Amino acid sequence: MSRPVLLIAGGSRGIGAACARLAGERGYDVAVNYKTNANAAAGVVDAVKAAGGQAVAIAGDVAVEADIIRIFDEAAAALGPVTHFVHCAGIIGDASRLDEASAQTIRAVLDINTVGALLCLRESVRRLSTKNGGKGGAVVMLSSMAATIGGGGECVWYAAAKAGVDAMVVGASREVAKEGVRINAVSPGVIDTDIQPPGRVERLTPLLPMGRVGQADEVAEAVLFLLSDAASYINGANLRVSGAR
């Protein structure tokens, strides 16, 4: 039987890199998309290969439609048809109140976190849906607890962008539920990755219900579960990985 092929948008660092490594251990071949950090992506590719999988790094900006289409094409050319997709690429923008934020920051965050996510989701469905000649598959979109708690004082635009992800997962999963494609979201709380501004992890840790932040590996476990056949009747769901936040 052929191995599943997982494409990760934003797989070079943080949660995406943890997903790629765990997928390699679980028998997937993995295409690791990144924007600028070729060294980090190469390290993730090496880790997947060391676990026995095939892997490839693919540069591209998943806020740009032409790049998204090329990334899916290159992943399929290198590893075979994509069967699973994870959208991890994301940015927050400089922290501030909304009345202090620039339009540039707001647009940049929405461009990648919402418009880019929609275009990636569209491309996944075009390739996976049995209606479009695909063989079905599973998609996980990274949302955030910010969509629920609002990001006040730090990143209201980011929270709004992730609320869009929540909505697209509900709607798209219903559109393609009879076409062999499951689409779910994962909403992390505070996870210790490069996305965190300096000092934020230390500042928030004592305020968190579990008294600690989460690790990227803990989010990757949830993502890999939702991708797997063990989650065969989980569709349109949004799984919080937030330590009760």
Could you give the residue numbers annotated as active site? 158
Residue whose CB is less far from ligand NAP, 141 or 176: 141
Report the site for ligand NAP in 166-195 (rule: CB under 6 A). Answer: 188, 190-191, 193-195
Sole binder of ligand NAP in the list 4, 31, 33, 137 (CB under 6 A): 33
DSSP 102: -
Residue whose CB is less far from ligand NAP, 5 or 32: 32
The C-alpha atoms of residue 186 and residue 198 are separated, in whole angstroms, by 24
Report the site for ligand NAP in 127-146 (rule: CB under 6 A). Answer: 142, 144
Residue whose CB is less far from ligand NAP, 194 or 229: 194
For 3, residues 6+ apart whose C-beta sits below 8 A from its C-beta are 27, 28, 29, 53, 54
- For CA atoms 130, 134, 137, 140, give the dihedral sign: negative
Listed in order, strand segments (DSSP E) in 63-175 are 84-87, 137-142
- 124 binds ligand NAP, rule: CB under 6 A: no
Residue whose CB is less far from ligand NAP, 37 or 235: 37
Of 11-19, 73-81, 131-139, 221-229, the segment contacting ligand NAP by CB under 6 A is 11-19
For 87, residues 6+ apart whose C-beta sits below 8 A from its C-beta are 9, 10, 62, 117, 120, 121, 139, 140, 141, 142, 165
Are β-strands 55-59 and 137-142 bridged in parallel, bridged antiparallel, or unpaired?
unpaired
The C-alpha atoms of residue 1 and residue 145 are separated, in whole angstroms, by 38
Q: For residue 25, which amino acid is it? A: E
Report the site for ligand NAP in 39-98 (rule: CB under 6 A). Answer: 40, 61-63, 88-91
- 19 binds ligand NAP, rule: CB under 6 A: no
Count of residues interacting with ligand NAP (CB under 6 A)? 30
Residue whose CB is less far from ligand NAP, 26 or 240: 240
Q: What is the DSSP string of 41-75?
A: HHHHHHHHHHTT--EEEEE--TTSHHHHHHHHHHH
CB of 195 to ligand NAP, least distance (A): 4
Residues at the site binding ligand NAP, with contacts judged by CB under 6 A: 9-16, 33-37, 40, 61-63, 88-91, 112, 142, 144, 188, 190-191, 193-195
